[in-house]
Structure 1
Amino acid sequence: MDIFVKDGKIVEELSPNDLKEAKVIDATNKTVMPGGVDSHTHVAGPKVTVGRLMCPEYQHKHSMEKTDITHSGTGNVVPSSYAMGYKYTLMGYTTVCEAATPPMLAKHTHEELKHVPILNKCAYLMLGNNWFIMRYLKEGDIEKTAAYVAWMIKTHKTFGIKCVNPAGVENWGWGLNIYSLDEPNLHFEVTPREIIRGLAEVNEMLGYPMSIHVHANGLGHPGNWEIARETLAVPKDVKANPKVEIEEEIKTKVPYEREQSIYLTHVQFNAFGGTSWKDFESGTKGIIDYVNKSKHVVIDSGCVVFGPAICMTGDGPNLYDLAVLTGGKWSNDDVELECGSGIVPFTYKKKNGVHSVQWAMGLELLLGVEDPWKVVMTTDSPNGGSFTNYPKVISWLMSKKAREDMLKECHKWASERTDLPNIDREMSLFEIATITRATPAKAVGLAPIKGHLGVGADADIAIYDINPDTLNPNDYKTIEKKFSCTEYTINGGVIVAHNGKIVSTPDGKTYYCNAKFPDEEIYNEMIKDVREWFKYYTFDFTNYPTTEHYLTKATPINVGE
């Protein structure tokens, strides 16, 4: 079919005069997809900066030269800011979501996002161990919790609620962690279940476009699949209630309403079976079965790709355990009243039993979930490997032979302790487009304008030199090569990449949510609380907000109006 583009949007048709002036791209025998949407990645902020500093060996070997329109850049695991934007664009991605932003350091995150060119962006705000959240939920004050969340997300120009190891990261300040959903933490005496449930209710009370984005407790430990499955069930009776209109003047034909009340992220790291590293095995089956029979969940895979990675997460205790296990570099940070983080450089090895099982588990999740509208392809970049490895993951999903050949190179545990050898499914191009475009766009609430090629969508388009009629799944190296570089990437109606070269560098939009809390009295009481407790911060309340000038093409999404 023909796709018509005008003023950055996909339109039903062009007028005769517009057609005379239009640029025509002949995509005969090509594969045309919406621009890629990465709903969980780490591209900006203090942890990304520290990760680069900790691993100079990952940077200098991969350089991009300056051109007339592009900056120079370095790095492949965690590329520098400009290179980040170019590399995503060359693969056909047009929108990325920074998955973990500490409120106190939101300015840093936005300053760095400002230097990621071309891409549209948004960031999730870490709230699962925030002192005010824990205090209000313990008091059972859901309305004041909602008022605080609405104020925080608007104040820091972020997009949605991120919850990392709820209640556990606060315990890490005293060298402890949380090991079940019903274990209360120190001082606040609130449980992970109470935080997840409370934030899910708040999210729907406010009507944000995205459900809560949850990094479950117990990440990275054998046997954690059970707590992950239990976490998925916590908000199962919380009804999704988005109250947002995106681009009201455009009447999109794509349904906006999301069903999920929880988005569980990088599930591979929370799908470990066994009781120790000796009997470690895949635990994905219990999670896959739950997802297949449930309507309120969306997950992303967190695939592992063999080679270098940098594990960086707001889950400080988890990365301390990993640092002890590996004996390598380790960085740890506590962000005052809000959250924490850890960083550990890492290398996944084919001949390591645990690593080989992890590789298989990420693919099991993507291939085992029957409905591609419930699962998103990610590597939790750079935790499971860099986003630059997405074409390789796609080749494994589309080709059983690619998986079989890799299994021959892996430790035998990959064949003995996972179901991957018995999975015959080979994803189609349509399914790949769904799990890398449509599903992530819908999961984060950008479906009206992103992730599809229907009338009313932003003209974010990727054209690959892949003929669907002659595509051979057994030729998986060609699949990987073709998805590594588009013939054309179009962002907002502008051609930004052509045959491996960046040809234009427009600024992308930065989305944030602006929710109104209806009860002014409760809102003012909350602000009074915040001002009083700000004595525990190391800077003044007036310096806390992130203003729009930190954002590139700031694009507020009004919620609940």
Structure 2
Amino acid sequence: MTMLKISGATLHDPVNGIDGRVVDLWVDNGRVIQPPSEPAVRPDRVIDARGLVAMPGGVDMHCHIAGPKVNAARRLRCDDKRATDQRLARREGFRSGTLGSVPSTFTTGYKYAGLGYTTAFDAAVPPIAARHAHLELADTPCIDKGFYVLLGNNHYVMDCLKQGDPARLRSYLAWLLGTTKGYAPKLVNPGGVEVWKQTGQGALQGLEDKLPHYGVTPRQIIRGVAQAAGELGLPHPVHLHCNQLGMPGNWRTTLASMQALEGCRAHLTHIQFHSYGGGGEDEGTLCSRVEPLVDYVNSHGNLTVDVGQVLFGATTSMTGDGPLGHYLYKTTGDRWYCHDTEVEAGCGVLPMEYKHKNLFNALQWAVGLEWHLLIDDPWRLALSTDSPNGGSFLAYPELIRLLMDRDHRNAVLAGCPPELRDRCGLAGIDREYTLQEIAIITRASPARILGLTNKGRLDVGADADITLYTPSDNAAEMFALPRYVIKGGEVIIDDYEPCAAPDGKTLCVAPEFDAAPLADLERWFASEYSVQLSHYGIRDDELAAVEVTPSNDAAG
């Protein structure tokens, strides 16, 4: 592999406390290395990075790029993907693909790299669909990738909780993650999707409501899976999509969920969608309730969040929260696709457009920005749009500009409905993010939250995932087009032009567990659903190169 020297870069590496220092970076065999002490050792290539800003490769810890919901969206949104990047298709080593809010696999990898991102995690894959998700990820070039495994409405999880058997739940969680080669447990509207699937009566209204048949509550699901994940020492804890997403007044359920996690590590995802005041389903009372929630996160170190920022424009809603998809379908009147995955999950997909003149949409936009700007410690937050739900990942440069440029933010706010100022506190927030803070929330923080010790940093031994940007007073322009991107030591964007499309690695975990409960698991699936455990196994030849992240004995 080529030995590379990046000369004279202005480095932002928050993990190592480097905030704009001019350095030389040396790369060999896919890693950052110590500068050679022997003068005779010369690099194969030198990149003159004087005047350029260097950061680790971006890490998107919550997006939707593979699995049943993504393919349902690709089928549903044929009107959204007519554009094709012929510029790449004509280049040797690149393949044609479609764009839109749900790009094809090839285009997804190319476009992430084109923003300076080198790692991405799909946020919700049912266990039975893991094989297909892995095949899609293997077809997504330029980035390392993985996924979280859906468990919040899994029948076997609820049976373990019903029987009061945490050891069996812990073994099941470890077996399932290892077998599907997933990365973390994901809870989506825990219990609520199952109630909707069984009764059609809508989601549960609170954490104490009991599910039919199993008699367990959302609180028990959240607490039980969080404790199991902590006891297994997973690098990333339970990844929680709270109940009542998008509903007026849901901040109370979100706060109760945070309190239920006392003493357990947990990550709350797309927190913007869970931070609304108001009563019942009356959108006329909708308002921001970020402050009590961000105060709780600020004072409880066991919790981290990503935002799920809404950005104005057309996109696609896709979620493992089936009842939410149905609610949005009734609200918008647009076409809708529902996908049920037997004993494991469900999903809803539909077109979505966020309009700056719509008060509800404008409030969603403002609530997300409030989360970014009110949190005390950027290391506890990761930038995301819940792509494509709040907006495509291609809109990240605009989001970064909103965070770094108060005047631009206020100009956009001025174009929103005047009533918005009475329903949120965004107008009174003067904070502007620095480049160092942007490097934290787009790189260092998500890598740390995920337990990816070789990413999000650029000291000796780190993965040689490096992005070089040309500085600009307009942050959207700066972050929209890096001058150089290095992935695993290979230059893939060279002087603004794509030049290579390596496969990237599959990132997964393999926790240790007690095998004794597996006999019961085999019997349970065979008797209840005629499902064989072998259906879940993933062959190594179905993956890209695999990197297993070890469990952390100190976690939790």
Normalised TM-score (structure 2): 0.92
Look up the match of 1:138.
162
Is the contact between residue 82 and residue 100 of structure 2 (CA under 8 Å) also seen in structure 1?
no
* Aligned pair partner of 2:518 in 510, 526, 542: 526
Look up the match of 1:302.
308
- % same residue: 39
Show the 5 A alignment for 1:115-126.
115-126=139-150
Look up the match of 1:63.
85
CA distance in 1 between counterparts of 2:173 and 2:529 reads 18
1:18 positional shift: 7.1
Secondary structure at 2:141 match in 1 = coil
- What amino acid does structure 2 have at the position aligned with 1:44? A
1:15 positional shift: 4.3
1:538 positional shift: 6.2
Is the contact between residue 182 and residue 509 of structure 2 (CA under 8 Å) also seen in structure 1?
yes
CA distance in 2 between counterparts of 1:413 and 1:400 reads 20
Look up the match of 1:114.
138
Show the 5 A alignment for 1:21-420.
21-61=43-83, 63-65=85-87, 66=89, 67-173=91-197, 174-176=199-201, 177-238=203-264, 261-275=265-279, 276-420=282-426
- What amino acid does structure 2 have at the position aligned with 1:100? A
Secondary structure at 2:47 match in 1 = coil
1:193 positional shift: 0.8
Secondary structure at 1:125 match in 2 = strand
- What amino acid does structure 2 have at the position aligned with 1:119? I
1:437 positional shift: 0.3
1:307 positional shift: 0.6
CA distance in 2 between counterparts of 1:19 and 1:87 reads 35
Is the contact between residue 64 and residue 83 of structure 1 (CA under 8 Å) also seen in structure 2?
no
1:272 positional shift: 1.2
Look up the match of 2:476.
480
- What amino acid does structure 2 have at the position aligned with 1:453? L
Look up the match of 1:453.
458
Deviation string 1:176-201 (CA, Å, 9 cap, x unpaired) is 32111111111111111111111111
Look up the match of 1:250.
none
Question: Is 1:501 the counterpart of 2:497 in the alignment?
Answer: yes
- What amino acid does structure 1 have at the position aligned with 2:406? K
Greater shift in the superposed pair: 176-185 or 424-433: 176-185
Any gaps of 5 or more consecutive residues in structure 2? 1-22
CA distance in 1 between counterparts of 2:529 and 2:494 reads 48
Secondary structure at 1:20 match in 2 = coil
CA distance in 1 between counterparts of 2:537 and 2:344 reads 15
Secondary structure at 2:46 match in 1 = coil
Secondary structure at 2:45 match in 1 = coil
1:62 positional shift: 5.0
Is the contact between residue 125 and residue 150 of structure 2 (CA under 8 Å) also seen in structure 1?
yes
Secondary structure at 1:68 match in 2 = coil
1:500 positional shift: 3.4
- What amino acid does structure 2 have at the position aligned with 1:516? E
1:12 positional shift: 2.2
Is the contact between residue 155 and residue 547 of structure 1 (CA under 8 Å) also seen in structure 2?
no
Deviation string 1:267-317 (CA, Å, 9 cap, x unpaired) is 111111112201111111111111111111100010001011111111101
Structure 1 residues 280 and 64, CA gap change in structure 2 (3 angstroms): farther
CA distance in 1 between counterparts of 2:247 and 2:53 reads 41
Is the contact between residue 235 and residue 552 of structure 2 (CA under 8 Å) also seen in structure 1?
no
Structure 1 residues 378 and 533, CA gap change in structure 2 (3 angstroms): same
Is the contact between residue 122 and residue 147 of structure 2 (CA under 8 Å) also seen in structure 1?
yes
CA distance in 2 between counterparts of 1:347 and 1:538 reads 41
Structure 1 residues 64 and 440, CA gap change in structure 2 (3 angstroms): farther
Is the contact between residue 486 and residue 498 of structure 1 (CA under 8 Å) also seen in structure 2?
no
Secondary structure at 2:147 match in 1 = strand
Structure 1 residues 288 and 559, CA gap change in structure 2 (3 angstroms): closer
Look up the match of 1:516.
512
Look up the match of 1:550.
542
Structure 1 residues 82 and 18, CA gap change in structure 2 (3 angstroms): farther
CA distance in 2 between counterparts of 1:435 and 1:19 reads 36
- What amino acid does structure 2 have at the position aligned with 1:42? H
- What amino acid does structure 2 have at the position aligned with 1:16? E
CA distance in 2 between counterparts of 1:559 and 1:417 reads 43
- What amino acid does structure 1 have at the position aligned with 2:33? V
Greater shift in the superposed pair: 171-180 or 387-396: 171-180
- What amino acid does structure 2 have at the position aligned with 1:378? S
Is the contact between residue 69 and residue 339 of structure 2 (CA under 8 Å) also seen in structure 1?
no
CA distance in 1 between counterparts of 2:109 and 2:40 reads 31
Please provide the CA RMSD for this pair.
1.5
CA distance in 2 between counterparts of 1:449 and 1:431 reads 19
CA distance in 2 between counterparts of 1:95 and 1:139 reads 39
1:5 positional shift: 1.2
CA distance in 2 between counterparts of 1:359 and 1:137 reads 38
Any gaps of 5 or more consecutive residues in structure 1? 239-260, 473-477
Is the contact between residue 379 and residue 387 of structure 1 (CA under 8 Å) also seen in structure 2?
yes
Look up the match of 2:5.
none
1:539 positional shift: 5.1
Look up the match of 2:13.
none
Secondary structure at 2:283 match in 1 = coil
Secondary structure at 2:549 match in 1 = strand
1:48 positional shift: 0.7
Secondary structure at 1:129 match in 2 = coil
CA distance in 2 between counterparts of 1:112 and 1:272 reads 35
1:542 positional shift: 2.8
